Amino acid sequence: MPSLEGVVRALGLQPHPEGGYFREVFRAAGPGGSRGAMTSIYYMPPLARPSRWRMIDADEVWSFHAGAPLSLSVSRDGRTVEIHRLGTDYAAGERPQAIVPKGAWARAESHGGWSLVGGTCAPGFVYEGFRMAPPDWQPGDPLP
């Protein structure tokens, strides 16, 4: 398996605000110069810890590409959590894709050396629609 550094270099990934690395690979034009109909990124979660909880104002499809399986935790109501395991061991319950609905909190955690996933957002991702929870926040806790 390639090294984390080799994958980061080969794909031109940059540090991500949630932790880990990413690169936007496609942005579909929106009507009249709007935010875009859809965006797609590569994302590699941080090693040895979960990413921070965050929410965006678009529906997301997470697609597993390579490396170790990962858990995608999703909280639709800010209190309860459902966990999706992305990977290729389908008999063990892993799946190649998972959905994070618009307005849901989510975070990712790799279960190995590194994981590479794709994130597709519709409508397209904009930073104005991105909210990151405080570092120690968990679903069920009040937000400041």
Task: Encode pLDDT of 61-78 as tens digits.
Answer: 999 999 999 999 999 999
Residue 68 in domain = yes
Average pLDDT in the 12-36 region?
A: 90
pLDDT band at 19 (very low <50, low <70, confident <90, very high): confident
pLDDT of residue 1 exceeding 80:
no
User: Are 70 and 110 contacting, i.e. CB atoms less than 8 angstroms apart?
Assistant: yes
**How many domains, in total, are found in the chain?**
1
35 vs 90: which has the higher pLDDT: 90
pLDDT of residue 48 exceeding 90:
no
Residue 137 in domain = no
Residue 12 in domain = yes
Share of the chain above pLDDT 90, in %: 85
Which residues constitute the domain of residue 27? 4-132
Residue 140 in domain = no
CATH of the domain at 34: 2.60.120.10
What totals of helices (H) and strands (E) does the chain contain, helices first?
A: 1, 11
Share of the chain above pLDDT 70, in %: 100
Residue 143 in domain = no
Instruction: Provide the mean pLDDT of the chain.
Output: 95
Average pLDDT in the 110-131 region?
A: 95
Report the 10 Å Cβ neighbour count for 133: 20
User: Are 83 and 92 contacting, i.e. CB atoms less than 8 angstroms apart?
Assistant: no
Report the 10 Å Cβ neighbour count for 144: 6
The whole-angstrom separation of Cα 60 and Cα 134 is: 22
Place of tokens 């399986």: 69
Quick one: pLDDT at residue 45?
93
